[in-house]
Chains A and B, each alone.
Chain A
Amino acid sequence: MANIHDIIIIGGGPAGLSSGLYGSRAKLDVLIIEKGNFGGQMSTTAEVENYPGSIENATGPSLTERMRQQAEEFGTKFVKDEVVGVDFTGDIKVVKGKNEEYQGRTVIIATGAEPRLAGFKNEVELRARGVSYCATCDADFFEGLDVAVIGGGDSALTEAIYLTKFAESVTIIHRRDELRAAKSLQEKAFNNPKIKFIWNSVPVEARGEEIVEGLIIKNVKTGETSEIPVNGIFVFVGLDPITEVFRGHIEMDERGYIITDTEMRTNVEGVFAAGDVRQKTLRQVITAAADGAIAVIAAEEYINEKFK
């Protein structure tokens, strides 16, 4: 018979890794299933400046590796697999991976979210040919070239500032006339000579045959369209949850975010959710990590009552 884990954590980002740390410190049998790269969105973030203590060597990959090591040191087990199905109906929860089937007394869903498309013409067709959602991955290509950044939140500004190390110019296209991003980031961006802003505008179409050669934008106030000559378009307009595989198994809101109480409990007994995948207001490394810790405490309490 297969090994029954105390906690199966789906997703190896900051929420999952914190759950791993707290779970293994509580001497529970904890397995983290990750399909791709650990760290989730954190692993592709150039600088994580807003996580307490993350001052020196504050890159996303470095913070990821430290979190992973810390969880591993206390006994968290890791497996690389992609979850393709779940069965949450029994007392023992079943998680079906591409390679293997896993059984657990509890499950913590920490699959996170992925960048949302901005919805302009040719966005999909020119992906990886100038349209990008990952500045750390692709900035190298745009050395000395002009790029546009779509969005006005923390991510958009952080990545725009990072891109100025490579690109000749960075034009931030934002649909409103003020930014949502943290004031300190705004200040940095406004003071950066390579960054320009185009307000009240949205992207309409990426131009170019095989690679991006320009971006057509539309002013939402006047309706006027214009083209800016750029070779790169970086999109940071928000996130969509990665929850397709759980559809019909647990309660979600209309956008697919999982609904939990303050203890991270979903509507299904023994199933918890943590991090960006959850319906909440602030999606950051720090809130993901906090969710991960809380979920484990709730899971531990559930295990003690249910399986004593």
Chain B
Amino acid sequence: MLELNKENFDAEVINYTEKPVFVDFWGEKCQKCLELMPDVHKLEEKYGDKIKFASLNTSQNRRLAIAQKVLGLPTMIVYVNGEKAEVLTPDKISSAADIEEMLKRFYK
């Protein structure tokens, strides 16, 4: 999965228009994020042909996360043409199934 940072975020997410971009905002101390990660990798295998998968380590890229208005983990965002199309906040994610449901809406 593509690792985002402040150098590549604009090119890979904001200015990217080919397909929707799914970004997994996670942190090194976020247990729920770490548990979800293998499932997110599986989702990439399933949906990766029509949705670009990326992750952002917020522990290393705090300012970038805050600039995206992300201050809680885990947060999952789908960007379409550089705009936030859907945001899943932690309360909306009880299992990977919730992430999959969001992805299905962009898998066209």
Contact = CB atoms under 8 A, between A and B. Distances in A.
Nearest to B87: A128
Interface string B55-72: 000110010011001111
A137 B32 contact: yes
Nearest to A134: B90
B107 to A, nearest CB: 19
Nearest to B90: A128
B31 A37 contact: yes
A132 B72 contact: yes
A140 B62 contact: yes
Interface string B15-42: 0000000000001111111011000000
Contact of B97 (A43, A64, A82, A231): A82
A131 B72 contact: yes
Interface in A201-245: 210-212, 231-232
Contact of B73 (A64, A138, A212): A138
A212 B28 CA distance: 23
B8 interface: no
A256 B36 CA distance: 28
A141 interface: yes
Nearest to A42: B31
B31 A61 contact: yes
Interface string A124-143: 00011111111011111111
Contact of B71 (A38, A60, A128): A128
Contacts of B71: 128-130, 132, 138, 141-142, 211-212, 231-232
A98 interface: yes
- 8 closest A-B pairs (Cβ-Cβ)? A128-B72, A37-B35, A128-B89, A137-B30, A137-B73, A141-B71, A35-B95, A43-B31
B81 interface: no
14 contacts: A36-B35, A98-B97, A127-B91, A128-B75, A129-B69, A130-B72, A134-B30, A137-B32, A137-B73, A137-B74, A138-B71, A140-B28, A140-B29, A143-B62
Contacts of A133: 90
Interface in A108-163: 127-134, 136-143
A141 B69 contact: no
A39 B31 CA distance: 10
Interface in B47-103: 58-59, 62, 65-66, 69-75, 89-91, 94-95, 97
A44 B91 contact: no
A229 to B, nearest CB: 16
A80 interface: yes
A82 B31 CA distance: 18
Given A82-B97, A98-B97, A138-B73, A60 B31 contact: yes
Given A36-B95, A80-B95, A82-B94, A129 B72 contact: yes
Contacts of B91: 127-128
B97 A137 contact: no
Contacts of A140: 27-29, 58-59, 62
Nearest to A139: B29
Given A82-B94, A128-B70, A44 B32 contact: yes
A127 B71 CA distance: 8
A9 B63 CA distance: 42
A60 B34 CA distance: 14
A143 B62 CA distance: 9
A182 B67 CA distance: 38
A39 to B, nearest CB: 7
Interface in A46-76: 60-61, 64
